[in-house]
Amino acid sequence: MAARRTKLRFILLHFKNTGIDGGLRIMQGLPFELSEYRSRQEQFLMQMPQDSLVIIPNNPKSVRSNDTHYRYRANSYMLYLCGWEEPESIFTALFLDGQWKTTLFVRPRDTNSEIWEGKRIGPEGAINGWPIDQSLTIEDADTYILNAISSGFKPSIIQGLNNRIDNIVLNQDHENGPVIELSDIQDPRSILDIMRTTKSESEIEIMQHAASIASSAHVLAMEKTFPSMGEWQIQAIIEGHFIDSESQWSYPSIVGGGENATILHYSSNSETIVDGDLVLVDAGCEVHGYASDITRTWPVSGTFTEPQKEIYNLVLEAEIAGIEACIAGSPWKSMHEASSAVLARGLVELGILDCSASEALGKNLDGPYRNYFMHGTGHLLGLDVHDVGGGRKGDKKPGPVLKPGMVVTVEPGLYFASWRDDVEIPERYAGIGIRIEDDVLITEEGPVVLSSGCPKSIAEIESIVGKSR
């Protein structure tokens, strides 16, 4: 018991000896007021047992080869709770002296490392600008966490991000055996995921900005499109605009011309788009970690053929129906049901399916229309492009009820790959792949399309494509 008191005293001592700045100074790059982060922390921690030790490590750096790394991106939960973007950091929370205390463990200042990699904020800078109660060096984390566990706190940790901390939690004392049982280890994401599904006004403002940048990038690419252009060139136009607008891509851009548009996650973007083909562009950007996600499909010649028009108008009708179904209080599946009903009926009317509309749809939305529309209609959008909170195709649990403040994508499509031998592909539509996707905010008054600045009618697109070639 005496040892446990000593360890707990060690934890408390850190707080007493830390010069905590209670002001509202925001450091450059922190997108929200400190009060918003504090509010998120309070909402989160009030749902946690008071004997919890919350541990949220940042993402590790990922090595591409030798001493070359992939571009670093902070963990979304770290961004959500305190906006910290440096690697090798850990956010923790403990209930001490009748209140929750937060600690951010960060890399210390190091002149030699900073010469090579850039300046670090360090614990001294972190405590004066970020929404935390104390900041310590990352070297203190091991002892701090082990002492907290030994004092009776039970870890609530996101595992798989920091092997060293995972090992401490799982093997707290190699000499005397574990201090806690594996069953005592919890995952804080079950609470945080629900919180993240509903966006604040300031989050929505950033997401609107990201959607506007992505919309402008698509328009710019349309304007500069010409026959025999490379997929990579369209990618360069779009991602160049992202960078020029102080953003970065939120997922690898898909630029698929002709048959490549029928491959859902096409990624090579390495082929030339021939005259008469469509190009499907699925590209979005990220601002302060918040994603946009837009898909448009257009003819490289500037004019849709009649078969292309038929499929395009059907997909557009389905997309509009899906957006109109994004009503607060509606089940998640509402938009998928609405889009699917339009697609199933349209495939019958075009003679692609030889059955009734209801048969095409199927009892559980599993009818033959799924031969040409294989994916879900949308997903939640936020700090991750396929955001947390459920609703993704393949999830075991049903998606969430639509609530004001949620941002979702609506993205039906039809794909007629001529190379498929598992289904009949009508010659008239062979090689056509079309998807249309928008970012939609759920409000009490109805859906608001954040990406409305990106044209999608045939008339609008034909008036733009090739304008600046």
DSSP-assigned beta bridge partners for residue 105: 90, 136
Active-site residue (options: 411, 429, 438, 439): 411
Structure tokens at 443: 């409000």
Active-site residue (options: 133, 166, 239, 282): 282
Active-site residue (options: 209, 259, 435, 438): 435
Active-site residue (options: 5, 69, 265, 469): 265
Structure tokens at 392: 């993704």
231 is catalytic: no
296 is catalytic: no
Active-site residue (options: 133, 166, 286, 293): 293
Active-site residue (options: 218, 415, 438, 439): 415
415 is catalytic: yes
437 is catalytic: yes
Report the sign of the C-alpha dihedral through residues 281, 286, 287, 291, in that order.
positive
293 is catalytic: yes
Angle made by CA atoms 244, 248, 254, in degrees to the nearest 5: 110
Active-site residue (options: 86, 290, 379, 429): 379
184 is catalytic: no
Active-site residue (options: 14, 73, 375, 420): 375
69 is catalytic: no
265 is catalytic: yes
Greatest CA span in the chain, whole angstroms? 83
407 and 441 in contact (C-beta within 8 Å)?
A: yes
336 is catalytic: no
Catalytic residues: 67, 265, 282, 293, 375, 379, 386, 411, 415, 435, 437
